[in-house]
A and B are shown apart, each in its own frame.
Chain A
């Protein structure tokens, strides 16, 4: 900072009016408790940045707006409060879109603020104009166009509250330059969600009672815990309920972390790459209590064969999820923790499910997640994931890209705490891992952050290393490098007779050298003997480090349920597909 740089002071606290629309935006953020924001500068958003200059909000300058949105998303996933991202108009805003869509699919609270050309230029195809609200409307809870400088701060507050409350998700406020630059504007009030949105809390008592009786009468009950359990802060209630009543718990992918995977009742993740035992349990249960899940097709497989003998109790805070994909015999619209308490109170007795629990335990023995790791062959990714898990604390946050490495991470890391598994579930966005690790580390500086990435995914947002270096974020990226977009290669082998079109790239960079070029620490790992030491060295490094881990390029992900297939028919090897 140069001597002549103006001092960062604020005298806005007591004022009735604020100097500019932009200062009203920043005041609204401060009043809402925002501590960090991720963004990239540019013409139309400059007034907002100028107001941020005076603020205590920690702004993390990103290298690409997609990364800003992913970082905000992960920040939201870790803290439960909306992550904030900023971008300029036009290309800045369109670069955000992938990250916003990702947050929308995973119900992550994100507030995006975009600059826009001056109101009178809108519609003229002005320089760097894009119809940001139009483009983002389908992928947000709501996309606001700020038209009045006196209410722009309230609009930002409303968008913040909307992102946070009810079923969480992204919102956006588009800020025309003239609105941001307008002078002497009204001070915003406290952040309040829109009056048209009621947020359900308790579910209908009669429906709860019917559901509770169905559950009590079940012989093969199972809980399916989705991401809503974590977002609804209901993990304690869920654990209590499952343990008190002896009900096995299956999770969706976003639900990983909702139930301690070391518990006897944990069946872990079901679905396309879920465990065999979870898929057996979900296929054979007779009452399925789904909490905070949208029964996505990667979980259900073909709906015709999904839990075909189960009565479904569906707890969700979003009424539009009820019977959207799978019919709910007992729809319970409400807050996950409240409804779990209601169910507990209404349950006449615990289900008599000892035989079923035994069956579930047998499935765990019958379908273990055991892999071969011969010393004389290339490294197995599963081994590396397990070694990392062993080396780190339980509260370590794991982020990933999308592909095989993501599945090995979720399968072979043992998750015991909520908000430690941060991934791109619904949209499946390659490139999510590193910016998410940045967002997670900013959100939780005291927790260790490990990103498992694929070589393909890492290349999509690798520029984020410059951000991690500048912010001196102590995070570790482990690239499970198979010199291919491996998940595509796996599908080509299984479903396209091995025609590997555009999926193998052995000419990828040396990621250790690349990391060093950015100013991060780089390591290369290709031998079982070095796994522990390399992990230790990378973790010890004070700052971002990258391990280029050369894994067996032939390794496939199993179990696998073919797309649209029956969960109970999960393949354990290619011949089963």
Chain B
């Protein structure tokens, strides 16, 4: 085919030796390490209206952000809801998630929580062959049976995500039939506001 242009061929040109990694950061090839994946809890204050959940979850899906859980519920302010989103991303990935979230029109504020109070609620339905054993495990994890028999007991418990993981594992020996978990809800520690109109630019 035609269309060639004059000039030195690729191998006749000088080429810089530097390189960037997948995140576009200039690197020392000897020292390159895969960036670490972090678990981060984000809180977003959003309009409490139809379509907002679809908008947020659609954003995560199309940008291939890894989320572990997402919960949403009303706040003390009419018309506003709070979303707690647990993401598993690299540092730059977490920054991208926050910035992309802030661009959505129904999103008022987004914040990453470090020292947060985190809780998740779980309902665990197990066999009732050993009611005393179930009660003991439930007590150990601060839970209680909320519905009993015939054949099954449903235990309710709250805790951090890892506490719930541990509890579900402990209940395995009674035969876990079904589990329903809410995902993590979180508030900032102390007098700090979690995600507030004024946090938008953090």
Which residues of A are at the interface with B, using a C-beta cutoff of 8 A? 133-134, 137-138, 141-142, 145, 162, 194, 196-198, 276, 280, 283-284, 295, 303-306, 308-309, 311, 318-320, 322-327, 366-372, 490, 493, 552, 554-559, 566, 568-574, 576
Contacts and interface: CB of A to CB of B under 8 A. Distances in A.
Given A306-B24, A325-B24, A366-B8, A196 B107 contact: yes
Given A368-B6, A370-B5, A493-B1, A322 B99 contact: yes
A366 B13 CA distance: 11
B164 to A, nearest CB: 33
Contacts of B200: 196, 198
Highest count of chain A CB atoms <10 Å: which of B18, B54, B62? B18
B96 A196 contact: no
B150 interface: no
B16 to A, nearest CB: 5
Of the candidates A323, A566, A570, the one having the most CB atoms from chain B within 10 angstroms of its own CB is: A323
Contacts of B96: 320, 323-324
A196 B105 contact: yes
Question: Which of B16, B17, B96, B99 has the most A CB atoms < 10 Å from its CB?
Answer: B16
Contacts of B3: 371, 554-558, 573
Contacts, number: 132
15 contacts: A137-B55, A283-B15, A283-B16, A304-B22, A308-B16, A308-B20, A320-B103, A327-B23, A327-B26, A554-B2, A556-B2, A556-B3, A558-B5, A569-B13, A571-B10
Nearest to B13: A568
A424 to B, nearest CB: 20
Nearest to B25: A327
Most-contacted residue by chain B among A196, A284, A308 (CB, 10 A): A196
Q: Which of B7, B10, B21, B107 has the most CB of A within 10 A?
A: B7
Interface residues of B, number: 43
Given A196-B105, A323-B24, A573-B4, A138 B54 contact: no
B95 interface: yes
B177 to A, nearest CB: 34
Contacts of B20: 303-306, 308, 326-327
Nearest to A133: B51
B10 A370 contact: no
A570 B19 CA distance: 17
Nearest to A145: B51
B185 to A, nearest CB: 22
B106 interface: yes
Contact of A137 (B13, B15, B54): B54
A12 to B, nearest CB: 28
A283 B107 CA distance: 39
Interface in B1-49: 1-10, 13-26
A555 B4 CA distance: 9
Nearest to A138: B62
B117 interface: no
B7 A367 contact: yes
Nearest to B3: A556
Given A137-B55, A367-B7, A304 B1 contact: no
Given A568-B15, A570-B10, A194 B5 contact: no
Contacts of B24: 295, 303, 306, 323, 325-327
Given A304-B19, A366-B8, A367-B7, 4 more contacts: A198-B200, A555-B1, A559-B5, A572-B5
B149 interface: no
Contact of A568 (B16, B19, B55): B16
Interface in B126-142: none
A572 B26 contact: no
A491 B104 CA distance: 38
A305 B19 contact: yes
B106 to A, nearest CB: 7
A323 B23 CA distance: 8
Contacts of B7: 276, 366-368, 572
Contact of A280 (B13, B21, B22, B25): B13
Given A196-B105, A309-B16, A573 B5 contact: yes
Contacts of A556: 1-4
Given A138-B58, A306-B20, A327-B23, A558 B105 contact: no
B6 A370 contact: yes
Given A134-B54, A303-B22, A572 B6 contact: yes
B58 A552 contact: no
A327 B92 CA distance: 9
B64 to A, nearest CB: 13
A295 B23 CA distance: 12
B58 A284 contact: no
Given A196-B105, A327-B25, A576-B10, A276 B5 contact: yes
